[in-house]
Amino acid sequence: AQSVTQPDIHITVSEGASLELRCNYSYGATPYLFWYVQSPGQGLQLLLKYFSGDTLVQGIKGFEAEFKRSQSSFNLRKPSVHWSDAAEYFCAVAPSGGSYIPTFGRGTSLIVHP
Amino acid sequence: SQTIHQWPATLVQPVGSPLSLECTVEGTSNPNLYWYRQAAGRGLQLLFYSVGIGQISSEVPQNLSASRPQDRQFILSSKKLLLSDSGFYLCAFNGYTFGSGTRLTVV
């Protein structure tokens, strides 16, 4: 079975600073990988996903993530954070074959200081 | 385009009352459908998923049940709500597209 670890419960950055949110996964083969953002009281919005191919994935809202097989990681990055990026971020992993059931990390809460 | 609709957005129900949350999908056929629950400050817990009409798999035994009466309709139900059923319920299709969620408070 797959698993996901988001080691940081909270991350605080200043507006305009760069951001990296960490995600490590455990899965026997190359998985499908996802990053979501959730604002308070809202559903989950898909930022980006990786299925195969180029390991650097571009998403919406200026986010990108890089799949590193050797490190079993899929870290989310943004070069310059805006105050509106303050939210909860979830990483998820799903098996690349068979029954498609994703497993989610516990989430990282992003706080943005003006 | 593919869209997912979930209602109601918020719900306050007394303990012991029944529950019915509905999720519908448009723009796709035979989708995989999922119900998740998110407790305050925690990640998502998969409750049920369905790969077709009448096909329901339960991930966590509990006070809830799910049904899929039509291809693009997924319903989460309970006969008698418990306080511990409070939470944020999310429907998803194809595993990675989510509805806007229902905030359920059991009082």
Q: Å from B79 to nearest chain A CA?
A: 25
pLDDT of residue A80: 98
Cβ neighbours of A99 in B, within 8 Å? 51
Highest mean pLDDT among A17-21, A40-44, A101-105, B29-33: A17-21
pLDDT of residue A2: 83
Cβ neighbours of A10 in B, within 8 Å? none
Give exposure, A56-69, as e/b (b: 16+ Cβ within 10 Å).
ebebeeebbbbbee
Confidence category of residue A91, pLDDT binned at 50, 70, 90? very high
Secondary structure of chain A: what % helix, strand, coil (to 5)?
Answer: 10, 50, 40
Cβ neighbours of B87 in A, within 8 Å? none
The single-letter DSSP state of residue B83 is G
Across the range A98-114, mean pLDDT stands at: 88
Cβ–Cβ of A42/B100 closer than 8 Å?
yes
Contacts of A50 (CB under 8 A, 6+ apart): A32, A33, A34, A57, A65, A67, A74
> Tens digit of pLDDT for each residue in B52-98?
999 999 888 678 999 999 999 999 999 999 999 999 999 999 877 89
Cβ neighbours of A46 in B, within 8 Å? 96-98
Provide the mean pLDDT of chain B.
92
pLDDT of residue B95: 73
Instruction: For chain A, give the percent of residues with pLDDT over 90.
Output: 79
Do A110 and A35 contact (CB within 8 A), yes or no? Answer: no
Q: Is the confidence at residue B6, as pLDDT, over 90?
A: yes
Chain B residues within 8 A (CB-CB) of chain A? 6, 32, 34, 42-44, 46, 49, 51, 90, 92, 94-101, 103
Confidence category of residue A41, pLDDT binned at 50, 70, 90? confident
- A-chain residue closest to B101, CA distance: A43
> Tens digit of pLDDT for each residue in B7-23?
999 999 999 999 999 99
Do B74 and B50 contact (CB within 8 A), yes or no? Answer: yes
